[in-house]
Structure 1
Amino acid sequence: MTVKHLSVDYNKVNERGTFSPGDTLSGKVTVVTSKEIKVQCFLVKAKGKAKVTWCEQGQTHSNKKKYFYFEHIILQDKNKGDGSEIISPGRNVYPFTFVIPKTDMPSSYEGKWGKITYSLRAQLTQSIWLVNKTKAEFPFLTKSEFPFASKSEMIIIGLKEQHHATRISFYGSAKVTMNVTTEKVGVKQGEAVGVSVEVVNDSAHTVTPKFYLCEKQTFAAQSKRVVYTNDTLCGTGDSVPAETSLTMTKVLSIPPQLPPTFFNCCMMKLEYRIKVTLDVPLAKDPEIKLPLVILLGSPKPHQQKPKRSIWFRKLPG
């Protein structure tokens, strides 16, 4: 093939490697050819979009939203068909610049049945049957101060405050009381949160607390919604023998790569909970769930994925 290489690259604007509303997105499109070629159109596009899709009872539910779309024409056939625009043989570099709109948009995210992506695409069209394409996604970070709550919810959210819950379970005439307290509701990526558990075991069985980090993804389309949950076991506490009580504290580490909580997308949201259960023999395990908001952590350099160019021929019909 005449086109030996086609790639699109962008310039970083900060140490995190992310872009936000109002930022200037600039870069270059590089094309290498073995000889002079004529093109009908050569352009680069910038796009931000969200999309959800899932199947339920043989029916597909889907929805999508476009946050922005820009095109920059690099070369275009003025006569609409005879391929009068020329690319010289060898390596050719074409710069581009876009300004991302200053509107509230969610961060990049990929979930079970939906994703939010921001990308650059370059397309070189030589004829109706010969099109070269390449794509590069860039990480996007919302500028919303509270992407994890609506205005009504913000009133009751105290991210630095403790949260407490009690659960009493009966086994015959005996009971087991579990009190759970988290040191705070809001935790940054890569940080840790302490969870205190008091167990008063008046039963005839030994009980053991277990600690989980619960993830809840919600997707909405066409007045329907679907929920995906994932519970990760973070640790096991000390066993509490029959007719005794014990108080213990477990420190749960939040993985740095875990996406932050967000609500500022109309088609999907991401929530977390801390769950503590009591492993009780021959009985349904009692559990307590407390809210957890995962916040954006400290900036870390973004590891840019290697670019890959894709060539294909579009056949007539």
Structure 2
Amino acid sequence: MSVKRLTVDYDKVNEGGSFSPGDVLSGRVTVVTTKETKVQSFLVRAKGKAEVTWCEQEGQSAVVHSDKKKYFYFEHVILQDKNKGDGSEIISSGRNVYPFTFVIPNTDMPSSYEGKWGKIAYSLRAHLTQSIWLVHKTKIEFPFLTKSEFPFASKSEMIIIGLKEQQRASRISFSASENVAINITSEKMGAKQGEATGVTAEVRNNSARPVTPKFYLVEKQTFAARSKRTVHTNEILLGEGESVPAQTGRTVTKVLSIPPQLHPTFLNCCMMKLEHRLKVRLDAPLLRNPEVKLPLVILLASPKPQRPKPKRSIWFRKLPA
């Protein structure tokens, strides 16, 4: 084993380290060998793809549903022997560095994302083949960020119009002769990562027990493989309102902070999409479906302005006494 180490890395184009459509992706492949090494081929690839996989029980057997989509694929040949496998190309002993450059296509592509049963990934891979039995591989993923402020595909126009509009929903829940009515109003439909948004719950409690409104953010992941679909949901508790006593009414207002690490809503991938909902659930025994949901679009947070570097302190000479 004359090849001791094979690595691939890239140069960052911004402080966040992410790439976007049209950016130049430059880097280098480094190979360390203990002696002169003959190789059949040596190349580096840049790839962007989405893939989904999940398993379902159908009758007596388990069926795997999977699909994938390629956004781009580039290959840069570093070394390639001319006689198809005789190992005529040689890597010298020691540390060898090979630069490469790719230009990311300037087209609409979804941001990097990893969900329950699917992933959108952008990566660099290096392959060094010494023989059919001896192949060295290495891989590194790089973060990719769409340029689209509203990555919602065909639904963008409808959603963008309502991002700043108030949203309302109502529900009445019954249990025997008791009932509880709830009206929900959210300040707006769109909120950025880390931003706060106000939600008001008007609760009329005609039951014999107190009820407590709880506020949730629901993340809905949808995956598609050809004609099959599956959904995974995740709930995040954002806050709890004041309890509403029995046979009374109360208006509860809550300011909810969107988690800054939450992935933005996106619909511009044909195999998976990520949607969000605000949900208010009444914590009350014996009530059936005491909850209301409102749509919420999570937008990418604006980049933080760069702070000027502090000036270096001035050192004064010590004057003679």
- TM-score w.r.t. structure 2 length? 0.89
The residue type equivalent to 1:209 in the other structure is: P
Distance 1:11 1:188, change over 3 A: same
Partner residue, 2:118: 114
The residue type equivalent to 1:92 in the other structure is: N
Deviation at 1:261, TM superposition (A): 0.4
Structure possessing the higher radius of gyration over alpha carbons: 2
Deviation at 1:247, TM superposition (A): 1.4
Partner residue, 2:16: 16
Partner residue, 2:319: none
Stretches of structure 2 that go unaligned for 5 or more consecutive residues are 306-321
> Does the 8 Å contact 1:16/1:300 carry over to 2?
no
Q: Which range moves more in the overlay, 97-106 or 145-154?
A: 145-154
The residue type equivalent to 1:26 in the other structure is: S
Partner residue, 2:4: 4
What is the DSSP-based 3-state SS (H/G/I as helix, E as strand, rest coil) of the residue aligned with 1:154? helix
* Correspondence 1:34-183 to 2 at 5 A: 34-57=34-57, 58-148=62-152, 150-151=154-155, 154=158, 157-183=161-187
Deviation at 1:258, TM superposition (A): 1.2
- Quote the Cα distance in structure 1 between the aligned partners of 2:157 and 2:290: 28
Q: RMSD of the alignment, in Å?
A: 1.7
- Quote the Cα distance in structure 1 between the aligned partners of 2:139 and 2:43: 12
Q: Which range moves more in the overlay, 189-198 or 59-68?
A: 189-198
Say if 2:197 is the partner of 1:193. yes
What is the DSSP-based 3-state SS (H/G/I as helix, E as strand, rest coil) of the residue aligned with 1:150? helix
Q: Which range moves more in the overlay, 157-166 or 25-34?
A: 157-166
Deviation at 1:300, TM superposition (A): 7.0
- Quote the Cα distance in structure 1 between the aligned partners of 2:171 and 2:274: 26
In percent, how many aligned pairs have the same letter? Answer: 77
Stretches of structure 1 that go unaligned for 5 or more consecutive residues are 302-317
Where has structure 1 moved over 6 Å in runs of 4 or more? none
The residue type equivalent to 2:40 in the other structure is: Q
> Does the 8 Å contact 1:46/1:119 carry over to 2?
yes
Deviation at 1:202, TM superposition (A): 2.3
- Quote the Cα distance in structure 2 between the aligned partners of 1:162 and 1:227: 27
Say if 2:248 is the partner of 1:244. yes
* Correspondence 1:199-218 to 2 at 5 A: 199-218=203-222
- Quote the Cα distance in structure 1 between the aligned partners of 2:80 and 2:176: 81
Deviation at 1:244, TM superposition (A): 1.5
> Does the 8 Å contact 2:174/2:288 carry over to 1?
no
Say if 2:33 is the partner of 1:29. no
- Quote the Cα distance in structure 1 between the aligned partners of 2:271 and 2:143: 19
What is the DSSP-based 3-state SS (H/G/I as helix, E as strand, rest coil) of the residue aligned with 2:146? coil
Q: Which range moves more in the overlay, 44-53 or 143-152?
A: 143-152
1:257 to 238, 261, 265: 261
Partner residue, 2:228: 224
Distance 1:300 1:63, change over 3 A: farther
Deviation at 1:159, TM superposition (A): 1.0
Deviations 1:161-181 (A, max 9, x none): 211112222344443221111
Deviations 1:136-173 (A, max 9, x none): 10011112332135247526741122111122223444
- Quote the Cα distance in structure 2 between the aligned partners of 1:161 and 1:142: 25
What is the DSSP-based 3-state SS (H/G/I as helix, E as strand, rest coil) of the residue aligned with 2:12? coil
Partner residue, 1:313: none
Partner residue, 1:305: none
Distance 1:153 1:168, change over 3 A: farther
- Quote the Cα distance in structure 2 between the aligned partners of 1:205 and 1:261: 38
Partner residue, 2:278: 274
- TM-score w.r.t. structure 1 length? 0.90
Distance 1:152 1:103, change over 3 A: closer
> Does the 8 Å contact 1:21/1:102 carry over to 2?
yes
> Does the 8 Å contact 2:113/2:120 carry over to 1?
yes
Q: What number of residue pairs does the alignment pair up? A: 301
Partner residue, 1:314: none
- Quote the Cα distance in structure 1 between the aligned partners of 2:268 and 2:144: 14
Distance 1:87 1:300, change over 3 A: farther
Q: Larger relative CO (CA 8 A, sep 6+): 1 or 2?
A: 1
- Quote the Cα distance in structure 1 between the aligned partners of 2:295 and 2:157: 13
